[in-house]
A and B are shown apart, each in its own frame.
Chain A
Amino acid sequence: NAGVMQNPRHLVRRRGQEARLRCSPMKGHSHVYWYRQLPEEGLKFMVYLQKENIIDESGMPKERFSAEFPKEGPSILRIQQVVRGDSAAYFCASSPSGQGNNSPLHFGNGTRLTVT
């Protein structure tokens, strides 16, 4: 049973370009969470999605960042016009029910974005 799959593993972008990060949740999981980990820091929640719906985007920057989880295909985190401060590891996690008490999150190995 494959775990949470994220790609690419490493992504290098120049300032002003767009970054697209993909996440395929575990089989049977319909709840996806995105987190950002800045160097030497903990993970900060960004957004929580179910299929075709954004449930909680309280951690998303107001500009340049967007996320989707379509009916078919992976969840996408999109960063437009990247800046150096966007350099970080972005982790995706999934769960079957969105009820963390009984279904802990399963994390992917992350995408490490470097903006040059």
Chain B
Amino acid sequence: GNSVTQMEGPVTLSEEAFLTINCTYTATGYPSLFWYVQYPGEGLQLLLKATKADDKGSNKGFEATYRKETTSFHLEKGSVQVSDSAVYFCALSGGSSNTGKLIFGQGTTLQVKP
């Protein structure tokens, strides 16, 4: 079945450092890929998405490129801020079973220190 694997956290960085959170997926068909962010005590918010191979999703300085050849969707940001501290979830939907259901990775906690 479809699945998503993320790098384990926590990831601890200093402010203005470069961020990469790795995400790989297994899916049949052609899924859409997403990054969601969860701040403490809140629900998930969509950060960015990509719906086909080679698409780049971007928002708030974060980027991720849909790489079909490596089945990856790594999240990057050039310069993190303390306010970026949160849990980040990679997810997929669609493929051969397009009910809109999201399959999530286990989440990666990011801690940014001033």
In the complex, whether B20 has a CB less than 8 A from a CB of chain A is no
Chain A residues with CB under 8 Å of B49's CB are 104
B89 near A43 with CB under 8 A, answer: yes
From 28 to 56 in chain A, residues with beta carbon under 8 angstroms from any chain B beta carbon are: 31, 33, 35, 41-45, 48, 55-56
Stretch from B11-19, B60-68, B70-78, B102-110 forming part of the interface with A: B102-110
A105 near B43 with CB under 8 A, answer: no
B28–chain A nearest beta-carbon distance, Å: 15
A42 near B89 with CB under 8 A, answer: yes
**Closest chain B residue to A33, Cβ basis:** B101
In the complex, whether B44 has a CB less than 8 A from a CB of chain A is yes
CA distance A4 to B42 in the complex (A): 12
A100 near B43 with CB under 8 A, answer: no
A48 near B34 with CB under 8 A, answer: no
In the complex, whether B32 has a CB less than 8 A from a CB of chain A is yes
B89 near A45 with CB under 8 A, answer: no
Residue in contact with A101 in the complex, picked from B51, B89, B105, B107, CB distance below 8 Å:
B51
A110 near B98 with CB under 8 A, answer: no
In the complex, whether A95 has a CB less than 8 A from a CB of chain B is yes
In the complex, whether B100 has a CB less than 8 A from a CB of chain A is yes
Bin chain A's interface residue count: 20 to 34
Chain A residues with CB under 8 Å of B99's CB are 48, 55-56, 98, 100
Residue in contact with B100 in the complex, picked from A6, A41, A105, A108, CB distance below 8 Å:
A105
**Closest chain B residue to A105, Cβ basis:** B102
A48 near B101 with CB under 8 A, answer: yes
A45 near B103 with CB under 8 A, answer: yes
User: Do A100 and B42 form a contact, CB below 8 Å, given A41-B106, A42-B107, A43-B89?
Assistant: no
In the complex, whether A107 has a CB less than 8 A from a CB of chain B is yes
B25–chain A nearest beta-carbon distance, Å: 13
CA distance A12 to B101 in the complex (A): 28
Chain B residues with CB under 8 Å of A98's CB are 99-100
In the complex, whether A80 has a CB less than 8 A from a CB of chain B is no
CA distance A45 to B107 in the complex (A): 14
Supplied contacts A48-B100, A99-B94, A100-B100, 10 more A-B pairs, CB within 8 Å = A33-B100, A42-B104, A45-B103, A100-B99, A100-B101, A101-B32, A102-B51, A107-B36, A107-B44, A109-B43
